[in-house]
Amino acid sequence: MPPRKKPVQPLAGCKIALCGTFPKVNQAVLKKHIEGLGATPLDSVTPDATQLIASPTNFNKPTAKVTAAKKLDIPIVGVQWLLDCVSSNAMKDEMPYLLAAPPVAAPPSPPAPAAKGKKRAAPAAAAANGTNGTNGANAAAAAPPDAKRQKTDTKQDTKKDVKADTKAAPVLSVPVDEFCSMPNVAVHIDDDRLVWDASLNQTNSGNNNNKFYRIQLLRTTAGKFYTWTRWGRVGESGQSAMLGGGSMDDALKNFNKKFRDKSGLAWERRSDDPRPGKYAYVERNYEPDSDDESGDEPDDGGVKGEEDEEVKIADCTLARPVERLMELIFNRQFFAATMSDLNYDANKLPLGKLSKTTITRGFQALKNLSALLDDQSLAATEYHMTYPNAVESLSNLYYSVIPHDFGRHRPPVVADNTRLKKEIELLESLSDMKDAELLMKVDKARSSEDRSIHPTDKQYNNLGMEEVTPLDRNSSEFVELANYLNSTTGQTHNVLYEIEDIFRIERKGEKARFEACHVSSPAAKDADTRLLWHGSRVTNFGGILGQGLRIAPPEAPVSGYMFGKGIYLADMSSKSAGYCASFISKGTGLLLLCEAKLGDPLQKLTQASYTAGEDAKASGLFATLGQGRTAPPAWKDASAVHKDLAGVQMPDVSSPPTDTNVPNAGLYYNEYIVYDVNQIRLRYLFRVKMGGY
């Protein structure tokens, strides 16, 4: 009997390129799917490519790969084409999956009902019916099955019109829910620039509920309107339904009814405080962000667009240690790991879509909860329920505003200061990472100017730093700083350091602000400036270097901070290293050395005081010293490190840390707190491998 032939694989002979980021699946997984079906994945669009799988966002820009595919008349399909090929183990017809650009002009929208309250308007620059046509897994901007593949020989005047429209009214990034399978739909944006998209969340720790509800008013390319709904437990796909018969009135009626049923609020009142026992509305940012970017580099060896032939990405001009620092600070894997470690649900509300308003609402929810933890009588007077029920209710509200993913585990009630501080850390990290995310945004136009700058150079430039200079390991400056790091470790920390780099840094404008800050008064006659440590997660440093060290906002609960809201510093390096969470960033942490104007005398405390900041101000003082049991025994002039530090004090590490003999000291180690950001000047940044924590 002759040997049986191996069956031909469904995509045998195909050569497929990928372009963009896709919901719920990354390019590495897609490449495995491509290989598993017998096709060859390509890193660039070459003349022998058979398909390009692109995200709608990248298609609409278009990116270099999309431009190349159009020139070569290569089919450009949504990712659902490949996923359906996998599920059916057969090659699917490309036609229903072809991507098409959003229409230049759409028929006028039927008027939306007049809102009685405030509307959440899209930015003024947004097109009245602006949409990028995104449809998650099914590529909502796909052409109808009977449509011909779009050619690139569009009339020149149309191109000009599109360019002009784009400049005047940039398209918002309003993705259709990724589980909606209806083709050729987009989220409706009415003539008042109101985005008809509602993300709702509800947490109930007692019932082990952590649920979402999504409502979208969808508009088809044929002018029909429907209301899409999907609901279930956070982290799962849940159930879904498409409501309505196709008319605008019907879709509006269903949208408004469903929103009121689930939230207890009218759509136009969605920004009001959530109703007890109902879903909370989670505001999203719809401006295009780096979550929508592909991060594609030019297609080396592939066909490029006309502009790409003239301009190539330049080499990185940064010193290698600085380049490595940028790669660490802007590492997306570390962002994801940080959010996962803090139980934030980035699938529900990606960092790029998280609004500052939502973070502020989260802080306010924690502030209300903190007040209740401090004064249990508020349960009866403010919330008209028992104390345990009030705590759980406010905890549920916080989780509803700031989506968390606990899997099938019961959401823990924020019932004590330990849990409260962890949630404060989450919101502070989200705020810093949000700033870093903005710095990573790539110009949608990918202009010649941007294309001539290496992405890492651009990230560095966006930080706006005056100086980031790696120190020579053999210099006296490096040696002095290394001694300060290694000689100020606490016995209770058991930390081991391996210094990778030390950078001398200067933020633009910070020196002038620092020098203009005077910490003198009848009570504090001397500046008492010291060189002190500050530690934070590497994912926070895009925000820290770009915006400077910041003090918690008014909405944050004061009880989350041992000595009030301020910037916390230490004279023991291991005290600050404990805040670096280096396990998230593969054992590497970042530590700052800051020049801090403290004032002399300091307000000295041995026990926590949430009112320390107000108390210091009332006494004419500018900083607090939380006194510890162990500290450096002597100080010296920091000109030993650099001449510019003359007059600044730093520990004299020729003698090891010793007992302070402070009576009733409640801390192991000293903490210094300043209450004005202008009292701080960033001086050095340490990149350190950390072990022992």
Q: Are the beta carbons of 31 and 43 closer than 8 angstroms?
A: no
Catalytic residue among 178, 392, 425, 671: 671
Distance from C-alpha of 574 to C-alpha of 487, rounded to nearest angstrom: 10
Distance from C-alpha of 306 to C-alpha of 159, rounded to nearest angstrom: 15
Instruction: Give the type of residue at 665.
Output: A
* Of the candidates 502, 501, 582, 503, the residue with the CA atom closest to the CA atom of residue 540: 582
Q: How far does the chain reach from its first CA to its final CA, in angstroms?
A: 66
Cα angle 130-132-133, degrees, rounded to a multiple of 5? 110
Alpha helices in 37-78 (DSSP H): 56-60, 64-71
Residues 6+ apart with CB under 8 A from 647: 529, 637, 639
548: helix, coil or strand?
A: coil
Active site residue 480: no
Bridge partners (DSSP) of residue 605 are 626
Q: Are the beta carbons of 22 and 295 closer than 8 angstroms?
A: no
Bridge partners (DSSP) of residue 504 are 469, 684
Bridge partners (DSSP) of residue 534 are 592
Other beta carbons within 10 angstroms of residue 43's beta carbon come to 15
H-helix or E-strand spanning residue 433: helix 417-439
* Of the candidates 436, 442, 429, 464, the residue with the CA atom closest to the CA atom of residue 580: 429
Bridge partners (DSSP) of residue 623 are 674
- Side-chain half-sphere of 605: how many Cα atoms within 13 Å? 21
Q: Are the beta carbons of 422 and 342 closer than 8 angstroms?
A: yes
Bridge partners (DSSP) of residue 624 are 603, 673
Distance from C-alpha of 293 to C-alpha of 622, rounded to nearest angstrom: 45
The structure tokens listed for 260 are 């009121």
Active site members:
671
